[in-house]
Amino acid sequence: MSKTATLEFDGKKYEFPVTVGTEDEIGIDIKKLRGEAGLITLDPGFKNTGSCESAITFLDGEKGILRYRGYAIEDLAEKADFLEVVYLLIFGELPNKEQLEKFNKDIKEQSHVDEEMKKILDGFPKSAHPMGVLSSLTSALIAFNPSSVDVSSEEDMYKAIVKILGKFPVLAAWTLRKKNSLPLNYGDEDLGYVENLHKMMFEKPNKAYSVDKAVIDALDKLLILHADHEQNCSTSTVRMVGSSHAGLFASLSAGISALWGPLHGGANQAVIEMLEKIKEDGGDTHKFMQKAKDKEDPFRLMGFGHRVYKNFDPRAKIIKKSADEVLAQLGVDDPVLDIAKGLEKEALEDDYFVKRKLYPNVDFYSGIIYRALGIPVEMFTVMFALGRLPGWIAQWREMRLKKEPIGRPRQIYVGENHREYKPLGNR
Ligand code: SDX
């Protein structure tokens, strides 16, 4: 394979080196393109543009492969627990017993939030969307943890990382409790990371807390499946904000806002709302399939399609199987699961979807499990953010440790050419 790529333009030839990744992906290194050829590339949505070299997550959209630090998502979802995966993504290796215990201890020591933060939460109406509240609270944490802002040493980064891993689940739980008018709490630090999250979210002030192990296992698996996904919209946002050295918490707050969008993490909420709408409309999936294909109709089949996966999203396969298992274990019969399966079957046989390689993505079935676990639909994307937190942290840390330059794309200007100012009276 050639070591360079040649560009010919205006009778001149330019050579650019190519970078080959450990999974044989090839990137043309155009760092010198503008300097040597006076040209830039144009790629709205960055569909063909790599923003960085990363050692964290590998995915192959054609083959439906997803690996965190080389470990297959199927193995991790089946055999690991979420905190192990958090450690793996951030530090690159599965932790041994001592490392995991220390990591867990360091996080627990940070799992309280300044009481003053409750005043900020109080300022929100109950109707506020939890993603907007969570993004604001994450940014507000900066004021109470100033030492976590200007971090450049690995040691200071570690301190900021365990702080946010300890406090973020508290903020997410408080966001739900605020909506449910329940007193804010801290759960029980003797519980595991995921069980304590569940307890903080759902414990009642006047009733002993108990939970079915199947619920915690399902939640743990869902968090693992959402933990990272290379340079998606919200992760790229975290990297971009972090590249200005704005600090970890500010970068995460921006990532939460990006994830909120219905084309991204907000799709899991949009999927359930879509399925409910189809159910209310009599369950005619064919009618909605036609709407999804009609260019004049803004309706899209939420939870379908993906920028990278042009085959089954491996996470969707695992979540679909888990949905059957969890609903059976919990004795939940949710009619929208059958509607979802009907839509999937129809789409996989429909030329419009097949031609465009539109398959169910991570968001298509996840909401059905969240609902069976008693999580309200407006909290679905918060659950996505809780899962994606370690991925955002790992990507931010990799970018900072590699001392990547500040992100600043170029553009092609298509506006007015120079023109003279016209006084008001002459316009
Ligand atoms: C996530 O990037 C990541 O890794 C994201 C994520 C992660 O883990 O971080 O995987 C999480 O965000 C999953 C995606 C969740 N979003 C949705 O489910 C929303 C519905 N899906 C689409 O809006 C869309 O598929 C996107 C946004 C996911 C991807 O859009 P692209 O890559 O820009 O593709 P496109 O919009 O150019 O679509 C290509 C064609 C178009 O038709 P034509 O113009 O070629 O005729 O496919 C059509 C689109 O109209 N199309 C759909 C469709 N998705 C794409 N048509 C109907 N329903 C859909 N869902």
Supply 154's token pair. Answer: 């690995």
Q: Which residues pair with 9 in a beta bridge?
A: 12
What pLDDT does 15 receive?
A: 97
**Do the beta carbons of residue 352 and residue 310 sit within 8 Å?**
no
CA of 289 to the centre of ligand 1 (A): 15
The chain-wide mean pLDDT, for the chain, equals 96
- Whole-structure pTM value: 0.96
> Chain-centre distance of CA 291, in angstroms?
28
Ligand 1 within 6 A of 172 CB? no
Pairing of strands 65-68, 71-72: antiparallel
What pLDDT does 176 receive?
A: 97
Closest ligand 1 atom to 300 CA: 58
Q: Which helix (H) or strand (E) holds 19?
A: strand 12-20
* Residue 426, amino acid: N
Ligand 1 within 6 A of 362 CB? yes
List CB contacts of 188: < 8 A, sequence separation 6 or more.
Answer: 196, 199
Per-residue confidence band for 187, with pLDDT thresholds at 50, 70 and 90 = confident
What pLDDT does 14 receive?
A: 97
**Do the beta carbons of residue 308 and residue 58 sit within 8 Å?**
no
Q: How confident is the model over 32-44, as pLDDT tens digits?
A: 999 999 999 999 9
List CB contacts of 423: < 8 A, sequence separation 6 or more.
Answer: none
Q: What's the distance, Cα to Cα, between the start and end of the chain in Å?
A: 61
What pLDDT does 189 receive?
A: 87
Q: Which of 129, 228, 306, 313 is catalytic?
A: 306
Percent of the chain with pLDDT over 90: 97
**Do the beta carbons of residue 277 and residue 267 sit within 8 Å?**
no
Q: How confident is the model over 300-320, as pLDDT tens digits?
A: 999 999 999 998 899 999 999
Ligand 1 within 6 A of 59 CB? no
Supply 381's token pair. Answer: 């994307």
- Is 363 considered catalytic here? yes
Q: How confident is the model over 244-265, as pLDDT tens digits?
A: 999 999 999 999 999 999 999 9
Ligand 1 within 6 A of 266 CB? no
Q: How confident is the model over 356-398, as pLDDT tens digits?
A: 999 999 999 999 999 999 999 999 999 999 999 999 999 999 9
Q: How confident is the model over 87-117, as pLDDT tens digits?
A: 999 999 999 999 999 999 999 999 999 999 9
What pLDDT does 109 receive?
A: 96
Question: How far are the Cα atoms of 225, 268, 283, 339, 364 from residue 274, in angstroms, in the given order?
Answer: 23, 10, 11, 10, 10
Q: Which helix (H) or strand (E) holds 66?
A: strand 65-68
Closest ligand 1 atom to 226 CA: 8
Residue nearest to atom 44 of ligand 1 (CA): 295
DSSP 407: P
> Chain-centre distance of CA 383, in angstroms?
10
Supply 189's token pair. Answer: 């630090």
What pLDDT does 1 receive?
A: 81
Using most ligand atoms within 8 A of CB, pick from 54, 89, 264 the residue to mutate for ligand 1.
Answer: 264
Percent of the chain with pLDDT over 70: 100
**Do the beta carbons of residue 85 and residue 390 sit within 8 Å?**
yes
**Do the beta carbons of residue 151 and residue 248 sit within 8 Å?**
yes
Ligand 1 within 6 A of 357 CB? no
Residue nearest to atom 32 of ligand 1 (CA): 307
Ligand 1 within 6 A of 315 CB? no
Ligand 1 within 6 A of 303 CB? yes
CA of 405 to the centre of ligand 1 (A): 30
Residue in this structure with the two tokens 């979210």, named with its chain if needed: 201
- Is 245 considered catalytic here? no
Supply 80's token pair. Answer: 């690991």
What pLDDT does 274 receive?
A: 96
